[in-house]
Structure 1
Amino acid sequence: MTAVSGQDRTLGNRAASATLWGGVNMALGRIVQFATTIIVARMIAPEHFGALAVAIVVQTIATNMAELGATAALARGTGDPDKIAPTVFSIALVTSGVMTAAAIALAPALATAFDDPAATPVIQVLSLTILLQGAGAVPSTMVWREFLQKPRVVVDLCSLVTVLVLVVPMALDGWGAMALAWSRVGGQLVALAGYWIITPKRYAPGFDRTVAAEILRLGMPLAMANLVVFVTLNVDYLLIGRMLDPTALGLYLLAFNLAGLPSSVITAVIRATAVPTFGRLFSEGTLGVLAARFVTGVSYGAFPISAMVIALAHPLIVTAYGGAWAPAGMALATLGVFGATRILVELFADLSVGAGKTGWLFWVQVAWLAALTPALLAGITWWGIAGAGIAHAAVACLVVIPLYVTSLTSVLHTSAWQLLRGSVRPLAAAAVAGACVWMATQGIANPAMALACGLLIGSVLYGLLTFRQGKELVAEIRGLLRSTASGPSPAGIPGSPVQP
C-alpha cells in the first residue's frame, strides 16, 4: 500500500484526527463568538443588529458566489492540486473583486430594499471581507483538503480574538453596527494571513482553459445552489425588515443566530473533513455503505441540543442577553426546530457534493426557496417573528429533507429507511426530554435557575433513553481515536490510503 508523504496513515485515521481537532476548533470558536455576542448585545440597541443583519445578507450571498464554486474541485481531494489550484486562485480573486466593487456601489439600493437606509455604510465596510475571502480561497481550501485542522485551530482562534478585541472598545465608543462590521474585517485579515502561513503549499494565480472548464462544470451548479440557499436562509430578514421594523429584525437576528448555534458547530465540525472524505469514499464505492452511520451520529448529537433550545428558549435568551431581548424568546423556540433539521440538510448537501452531484443540489435549493417564500409571508403576517421560525421548520421537514433523501438514495444505491433509521430513536428521545424539561421549568421564576435545572434534567433523561445507542457510538469513536493514535489499522473508514 502506498504511503502518504512519508506517513503510513489511512483516510480513516486522517479524517478522525481532523474531525477531533475540528471539534476543538469549533468549541473554542463558538465560545469566543458567543461571549462576543453577549457583550455587544448588552452595549448596543436591537436596531443596530438589524442593520448588521442586512449587511450580512449581502455579504453572505456575494461571498458564496464570489469564487463560482471553484474551490469544490480542489476540496474534493481527487485531483492534482498543482494543476487545479492556480486556476482556482485566478477565478476566486477576479470574481471576489468584482463582487466587492458591486456590493459597495449598490449598497444604498440594497439597504433601501431592506427598508433600512442606515445599513448602507455597514454593507460597504463588510463588503471588504468578500475580497479578503477570495484572496484566501486557495490556502484555506488546501488546509481543508489536507485535513490540517490542528494548526487551523490557532488561526481561527486568533481571528475570533481579534474580532473581540476590536468590537468592544468600538461599541463602547458608540460605533453601533459599524463596530460589528469593522471588527469582522479585522478578523478576516488575521485569518487570511494565518491560512497563508499554514497552507502546505503556496500557489500563484494562473489559468488553464481546460482546467477552468472542468472546474466550472462542477463548481457553477454548486455556486448557484449556494446562492439560492443563502437567499433562502436570508429571505426572512428581507421580509421581516419590510413587514415589521428594524427592532423586530434585530430581535430575530439574535434568535436565529442562537438557534443556529448548535447546527453551525456540528456542521462546521463535519465540514472539517466531510467533502474531501466523502469525495474519496465515493470514488472507492463505499460512501453508500457508510452514509447511514454519518446520519446516525449527527442525529444523536444534534437533536437533544435543539430540543433544549426549544424547551428553554425564554430563560436562555434572558440569562444570556438580558430582559431587553426577551421578545426574541418565541422566535428562538420555533427556530429551534429548524436548527435540528438544518443539521441534517447540511450533511445531505455535503454527501451530494462528495458524490459530485452538484446539479441536483441546485434544484433542491430552488424548490426550498419556492416553498419557503410564501410560507414566510403567511407566518410573519400571522405570528410575527415567531411565524418565520414556524415557516422554516415546516418547509425543511416537509419539502427539503424528502427531496434530499430521494436524491441520495438514488446516487448512493440505498433506501430511505436504511439512510434514516438511525435518527428515529434520537428524535423520539429528544422530543420526550424536551417536553419534560419544558414542563419541569414552568414554575421556576429565576431564568438562570430554570436554565440550569432544565439542562440537567434534559441531559440525564436523554442519556437514559438512548443509553444503548450512545454506548455503541462512543465505542465507534474510541475505535477511530485509537486507530489514529496507533497509526495504520483496519479500523475506521475503509479504503485505500490517500494518494500523494
Structure 2
Amino acid sequence: MTTASGGTTLGARSASATLWGGVNMALGRVVQFTTTIIVARLIAPEHFGALAVAIVVQTIATNMAELGATAALARGNGDPNRIAPTVFTISLVTSAVMTAGAFALAPALAAAFDDPAATPVIQVLSLTILLQGIGAVPSTMVWREFLQKPRVVVDLCGLVTVLVLVVPMALDGWGAMALAWSRVGGQVVVLVGYWIITPARYAPGFDRGLAVEILRLGMPLAMANLVVFVTLNVDYLLIGRMMDPAALGLYLLAFNLAGLPSSVITAVIRATAVPTFGRLFAEGTLGELAGRFVTGVCYCAFPISAMVIALAQPLIVTAYGQAWAPAGIALATLGVFGATRILVELFADLSVGAGKTVWLFWVQVAWLVALTPALYFGIRWWGIAGAGVAHAVVASLVVIPLYVRALTLVLHISSWSLLKGSLRSLLGAALAGAAAWMGTHWMDQPWAALGAGLLLGAAVYGLVTFRQGKQLAAEVRILVKPHHPALQQPAGEGAL
C-alpha cells in the first residue's frame, strides 16, 4: 500500500487538513465578523463604498499577479524542488509590476467607479499585491502539504492584527483608510507566519523550459481568475455609477454577509481540494468520487444559504444595527447566489485538479457576458436588490449548466451521477427556509426572529435529510480509512 510522506494515507491527511481548515475558517470568520460589526458601528456606509472600490482593484490584480503559476505547485503531483524557484520568480516579478500599476492608476480607477475618495485606499491596498507575490510559494507549500493545523495559528494572528489596528484607527477618524492599513498589517503578519511554518524555503530561480510548462497550465487559470473576479465585482462598478456611495456601502455589506457561507465552505474545501483532486485524477478515481463531493458540499451549504434568505432582515438588523436595515432586501436576493457560488467554486476546483484550465476560462467569459446586462437591468429596475436577482439567475441558468457539461466530458461521468445527491438537500433547504420565514416574519424583535428561525429551520432540515446525513457520515468514515484504494498517494512524483 503506497502512502503519503510519513506513512500516512492521502485520505487521512486530507481528512485531518479539512478538519483543521474548518477550525481555521470558524475562528477566522468569528474574528472577521466581529471586526465588521465593530467597524460598521464606527464608520459611515460611504466609507465601505470606498473600500469596495479598492477591493475590486486589489482582488483583480492579486489574482493576476502570479499568472496562475502556483497551480503547478499546488496540484501535488510534481517535484516542488524543481518547480518552486521558477514559480517564486514569476510571482515576484509580476506582483511587483501589478503593484506599481495599481498605485499609478489609482486616480483613474477610482474615477471609473465615480468615487475619487477611493484613490488613497487603492494605493494602500496595492501593497498587499506585492506581499502576496512574495509569499506565493510558502503559502502554496502550506496548502500542498496539508499544513492546516499550524496555519490556524498564522491566519488567526493575521486577523487579530487587523482587529487590533482597525478599531483605534476608525475611532481616530481614519474612515476607509483604517480598513485599508489594517489589511496591510494583517497581510504582513500572515506572510511572516507562512515563511516560518513552510516545510522548505526556496530562493528565486528560473528555468525557461519549466516556466513555459508552468505557464501553459497557469495562464488559462489566471485569465479565468481575472474574468471571474471582474464578474464578481462588476456589480460594484455598476452600482457605484448608477447609484451613490451609501448604496454601494449597503450592497458591500450585504454581499459579504450573503457570501459568508460560501467563503467558509469553499475555504474549508480548498484547504485540501486541489492537491487531493490532482492526486485522485492521477489515480483515475476522481470521476467516481466527484458526485460524493458534490453531495457533501450541498448538504452543508444549501441550508445555510436558505437561512440567510429567509432571515435576511433580522440578521442584518441584529448584527449591524437599524441603520443598515436597507441592506436586508439585497441580502435576501444575494442568498440564492451564495448557494450557487459554492457549487461553482467546487466545480472550478475539480477542473483545476484535473489539470483542465483552458475551458475553465471560457466558462468564466460566458458568465461575464451573461451577467453584465443582467446586472444593468436588475439595478435599473430594483436597485441593489436587482443585483442579487441578476447574480442568482445567471449563476443558476448559465454558469452551473456549463460547468456540469464540461465536467461530464472531462471526468467521463453523467450529469445525473454528478448532481443527483444534491436534490434532497435542495428540497430540505427550501422547506427549512420557508418554515423559518413563515414562523418568524410577524415577530417585532429581530434577535428573537433570528433565533427562532434558525431553530425552526434546523429542525425541518434535519427531519427531511436525516437519512442522507447519516449515509454521508458513514461514507466519510469509509472514505478516510487507511485501506481505501481511491485515496492512496500515487507512488513517485509525476509531471505537472
Give TM-score, length-normalised by structure 1: 0.97
Shift of 1:3: 4.9
Structure 2 equivalent of residue 125 of structure 1: 124
Identity of aligned residues (%): 81
Structure 2 equivalent of residue 486 of structure 1: none
> How far apart, CA to CA, are the structure 1 residues paired with 2:45 and 2:486?
47
Query: Where do residues 148-297 of structure 1 align in structure 2 (5 Å cutoff)?
Result: 148-297=147-296
Shift of 1:275: 0.3
**Cα 1:171–1:419, aligned 2, differ >3 Å: closer, same or farther?**
same
> How far apart, CA to CA, are the structure 2 residues paired with 1:336 and 1:227?
24
Deviations 1:281-310 (A, max 9, x none): 001100000000000000000000000000
Output the aligned Cα RMSD: 1.1
Counterpart of 2:483 (choices 490, 494, 497) is 490
Shift of 1:78: 1.0
Deviations 1:94-126 (A, max 9, x none): 000000000000000000000000000000000
Structure 1 equivalent of residue 444 of structure 2: 445
Q: What SS does structure 2 have at the residue aligned with 1:350? A: helix
Shift of 1:4: 3.9
Q: What SS does structure 2 have at the residue aligned with 1:327? A: helix
Shift of 1:490: 1.4
Which one-letter code corresponds to 1:435 in the other structure?
Answer: A
8 A contact 1:292–1:419 mirrored in 2: yes
Which one-letter code corresponds to 2:211 in the other structure?
Answer: A
Deviations 1:326-364 (A, max 9, x none): 000000000000000000000000000001110000000
Which one-letter code corresponds to 2:145 in the other structure?
Answer: E
Query: Where do residues 317-396 of structure 1 align in structure 2 (5 Å cutoff)?
Result: 317-396=316-395
Shift of 1:479: 4.4
> How far apart, CA to CA, are the structure 1 residues paired with 2:261 and 2:123?
30
**Cα 1:88–1:496, aligned 2, differ >3 Å: closer, same or farther?**
closer
Structure 2 equivalent of residue 110 of structure 1: 109
Which one-letter code corresponds to 1:495 in the other structure?
Answer: Q
8 A contact 1:10–1:497 mirrored in 2: no
Deviations 1:397-455 (A, max 9, x none): 00000000000000101000110000000001100110111111111100000000000
> How far apart, CA to CA, are the structure 2 residues paired with 1:318 and 1:149?
34
Shift of 1:497: 5.2
Deviations 1:31-63 (A, max 9, x none): 000000000000000000000000000000000
> How far apart, CA to CA, are the structure 2 residues paired with 1:151 and 1:288?
31
Shift of 1:127: 0.5
Structure 1 equivalent of residue 145 of structure 2: 146
> How far apart, CA to CA, are the structure 2 residues paired with 1:415 and 1:287?
13
Shift of 1:493: 4.5
8 A contact 2:3–2:10 mirrored in 1: no
**Cα 1:3–1:15, aligned 2, differ >3 Å: closer, same or farther?**
closer
8 A contact 2:294–2:343 mirrored in 1: yes
Shift of 1:498: 6.0
Shift of 1:491: 3.8
Shift of 1:499: 4.3
Structure 1 equivalent of residue 49 of structure 2: 50
> How far apart, CA to CA, are the structure 1 residues paired with 2:21 and 2:487?
21
**Cα 1:310–1:60, aligned 2, differ >3 Å: closer, same or farther?**
same
8 A contact 2:306–2:432 mirrored in 1: yes
How many aligned positions are there?
493
Structure 1 stretches of 4+ with a deviation exceeding 6 A read none
Which one-letter code corresponds to 2:117 in the other structure?
Answer: A
Q: What SS does structure 1 have at the residue aligned with 2:67? A: coil
8 A contact 1:480–1:492 mirrored in 2: no
Shift of 1:475: 2.2
> How far apart, CA to CA, are the structure 2 residues paired with 1:260 and 1:228?
19
Structure 1 equivalent of residue 415 of structure 2: 416
Structure 2 equivalent of residue 464 of structure 1: 463
> How far apart, CA to CA, are the structure 2 residues paired with 1:8 and 1:131?
37
Q: What SS does structure 2 have at the residue aligned with 1:357? A: coil
**Cα 1:106–1:219, aligned 2, differ >3 Å: closer, same or farther?**
same
Q: What SS does structure 1 have at the residue aligned with 2:119? A: helix
8 A contact 2:3–2:489 mirrored in 1: no
Which one-letter code corresponds to 1:166 in the other structure?
Answer: L
Q: What SS does structure 2 have at the residue aligned with 1:443? A: coil
Shift of 1:9: 1.2
> How far apart, CA to CA, are the structure 2 residues paired with 1:205 and 1:312?
50
> How far apart, CA to CA, are the structure 2 residues paired with 1:190 and 1:496?
33
Shift of 1:472: 1.0
Which one-letter code corresponds to 2:52 in the other structure?
Answer: A
Q: What SS does structure 2 have at the residue aligned with 1:326? A: helix
Which one-letter code corresponds to 1:490 in the other structure?
Answer: H
**Cα 1:387–1:492, aligned 2, differ >3 Å: closer, same or farther?**
farther
Shift of 1:492: 8.0
Structure 1 equivalent of residue 25 of structure 2: 26
> How far apart, CA to CA, are the structure 2 residues paired with 1:388 and 1:402?
21
8 A contact 2:67–2:222 mirrored in 1: yes
Indicate whether 1:312 and 2:311 are aligned: yes
> How far apart, CA to CA, are the structure 1 residues paired with 2:233 and 2:49?
12
> How far apart, CA to CA, are the structure 1 residues paired with 2:486 and 2:145?
16
8 A contact 2:4–2:10 mirrored in 1: no
**Cα 1:163–1:411, aligned 2, differ >3 Å: closer, same or farther?**
same
Indicate whether 1:61 and 2:37 are aligned: no
Q: What SS does structure 1 have at the residue aligned with 2:38? A: helix
**Cα 1:35–1:492, aligned 2, differ >3 Å: closer, same or farther?**
farther
